[in-house]
């Protein structure tokens, strides 16, 4: 029953995306060219990565508002290390980005787990701390394209079968986490911890620890996106990806992830991110001012959350809610 609902949400989203692309291609036929669609996917990849991490955190009834700041901080550190030591291999850079991001995520996780501080408070705090730290370590300066080594910049743009590495990383991440969420104990624990924390505790799942791992994964993905973002745009400064955390939450909500925890899929998060990404990329080509983007994504979020609530209500899990609504 539940599964059918989630499935219908995803088919619904796929239909919405196809409809969106059709409408856009009526105004601008070039949009539907495979090369352009690949570009749009590539452009949306950082959002996809972050949305997957955020989805896992939201599954456990938490929220991670520090992802964009984590991305920016990791990106800056990686860029500065690259400037200082341009000859370091790219594998090392990738590992550094992932582990630094994971460490920052663990910091959030430890506060949520060991001190039981609400996640919104923790990540609100770490968000400003991370941003501030970027300013402190970079002294407010930009790391520009000409300072970065060419290998550093080339990696995410390298094309394999017509799609840049950046896009491939998103695809691989989606596949890996689809498996992790459905086929591993940890993956199921995320659902259990958010769906019903008390039952999860009695089933032998350490809810706090599960939340800790959720934050670690979200941090690691943010760190990875940090390097990809900085090398793709070939610039790093304090404000990169400012406000991006809300886009990420929006992608999750549009993808059918319930903010109450326990409901959501990797594919949903992927589709939610793609939906936002297509809107963002399509507005300029169909001659709508990019200033419309914010209002449109705002409407999309509200509509999506209303649909989510409809889907949840029919399940009849919350009995009192209806009585409450009638007053």
By the criterion CB under 8 A, which residues form the site for other proteins?
63, 65, 111, 114-118, 120-122, 124-129, 131-133, 135-136, 140, 197, 201, 207-208, 238, 243, 246, 249-250, 253, 259-260, 289, 291-302, 305-306, 309, 313, 320-321, 323-325, 327
In the complex, least distance from residue 30 CB atom to other proteins, rounded to whole angstroms: 26
Strands (E) in 8-97, as ranges, are none
When the beta carbons of 27 and 313 are compared against other proteins, the nearer one is 313
When the beta carbons of 102 and 111 are compared against other proteins, the nearer one is 111
Paired tokens of 319: 């009995």
In the complex, least distance from residue 82 CB atom to other proteins, rounded to whole angstroms: 23
**CB atoms near residue 55 (< 10 Å):** 30
When the beta carbons of 178 and 293 are compared against other proteins, the nearer one is 293
With a CB cutoff of 8 Å and minimum separation 6, the contacts of 297 are 247, 250, 276, 279, 280
When the beta carbons of 123 and 173 are compared against other proteins, the nearer one is 123
In the complex, least distance from residue 145 CB atom to other proteins, rounded to whole angstroms: 23
Specify which residues 163 forms β-bridges with: 160
When the beta carbons of 88 and 288 are compared against other proteins, the nearer one is 288
In the complex, least distance from residue 87 CB atom to other proteins, rounded to whole angstroms: 32
Per-residue burial over 79-100, b if 16 or more Cβ lie within 10 Å, else e, is bbbbeeeeeeebeebbebbbeb
In the complex, least distance from residue 247 CB atom to other proteins, rounded to whole angstroms: 9
Q: How far apart are CA 128 and CA 65, in angstroms?
A: 10
In the complex, least distance from residue 90 CB atom to other proteins, rounded to whole angstroms: 30
159 in helix, strand or coil?
strand
With a CB cutoff of 8 Å and minimum separation 6, the contacts of 281 are 39, 40, 43, 44
Residue 265 C-alpha from the chain's centroid: 13
Tokens 């610039």 label which residue? 235
When the beta carbons of 81 and 283 are compared against other proteins, the nearer one is 283
């Amino acid at each position: 029953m539940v599964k059918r609902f989630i499935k219908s949400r995803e088919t619904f989203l796929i239909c919405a995306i196809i409809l969106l692309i059709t409408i856009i291609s009526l105004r601008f036929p070039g949009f539907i060219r495979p090369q352009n669609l690949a570009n749009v996917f590539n452009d949306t990849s950082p959002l996809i990565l972050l949305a997957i991490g955020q989805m896992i955190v939201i599954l456990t009834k938490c929220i991670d508002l520090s992802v964009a700041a984590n991305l920016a901080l990791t990106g800056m550190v990686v860029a500065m290390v690259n400037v200082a030591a341009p000859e370091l291999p790219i594998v090392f850079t990738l590992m550094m980005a992932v582990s630094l991001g994971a460490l920052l995520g663990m910091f959030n996780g430890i506060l949520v787990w060991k001190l039981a501080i609400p996640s919104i408070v923790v990540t609100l705090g770490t968000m400003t701390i991370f941003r501030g730290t970027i300013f402190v370590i970079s002294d407010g300066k930009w790391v520009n394209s000409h300072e970065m080594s060419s290998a550093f910049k080339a990696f995410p743009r390298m094309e394999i079968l017509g799609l840049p590495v950046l896009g491939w990383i998103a695809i691989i991440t989606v596949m890996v986490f689809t498996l992790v969420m459905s086929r591993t104990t940890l993956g199921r624990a995320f659902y259990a911890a958010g769906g019903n924390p008390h039952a999860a505790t009695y089933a032998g799942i350490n809810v706090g620890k599960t939340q800790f791992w959720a934050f670690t994964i979200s941090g690691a993905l943010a760190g990875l996106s940090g390097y990809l973002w900085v090398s793709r745009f070939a610039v790093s400064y304090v404000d990169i990806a400012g406000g991006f955390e809300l886009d990420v939450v929006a992608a999750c909500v549009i993808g059918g992830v319930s903010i109450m925890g326990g409901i959501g899929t990797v594919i949903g998060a992927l589709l939610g991110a793609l939906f936002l990404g297509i809107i963002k990329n399509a507005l300029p080509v169909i001659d709508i001012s990019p200033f419309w983007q914010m209002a449109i994504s705002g409407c999309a979020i509200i509509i999506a959350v209303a649909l989510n609530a409809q889907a949840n209500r029919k399940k009849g899990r919350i009995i009192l809610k209806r009585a409450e609504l009638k007053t």
